[in-house]
Amino acid sequence: MDKMNFYNIRRLIVVDNNNRMIGIITEKDIFRQIAKSRGLIADLLGTDYPPEHKEIYDRFGDFMSDLLPKL
């Protein structure tokens, strides 16, 4: 996500083993998955963050769920 933000990239092309495009992942897709999975936040950020930030990360999923439109 840091590189996507730095380079202002909002979509990533997904390719198969033959480098044929099989899909696109958007920034919104990534945030939607983060909102659905609290464990994904730990996977992305690791668990090496200050303990005082735990509540922020715990509440992030709820915030993102409310922010994103439901499909």
Q: Is the pLDDT of residue 18 over 70?
A: yes
66 versus 22: the higher-pLDDT residue is: 22
The band of 13, judged by pLDDT with boundaries at 50, 70 and 90, is: very high
Q: Containing domain of residue 11, as a range? A: 2-67
% of the chain exceeding 90 in pLDDT: 21
**Rounded distance between C-alpha atoms, residue 27 and residue 30, angstroms:** 5
The domain total for the chain is 1
54: three-class secondary structure by DSSP:
helix
**Rounded distance between C-alpha atoms, residue 7 and residue 4, angstroms:** 5
Is this prediction's pTM over 0.85?
Answer: no
**Rounded distance between C-alpha atoms, residue 66 and residue 55, angstroms:** 17
% of the chain exceeding 70 in pLDDT: 54
7 versus 1: the higher-pLDDT residue is: 7
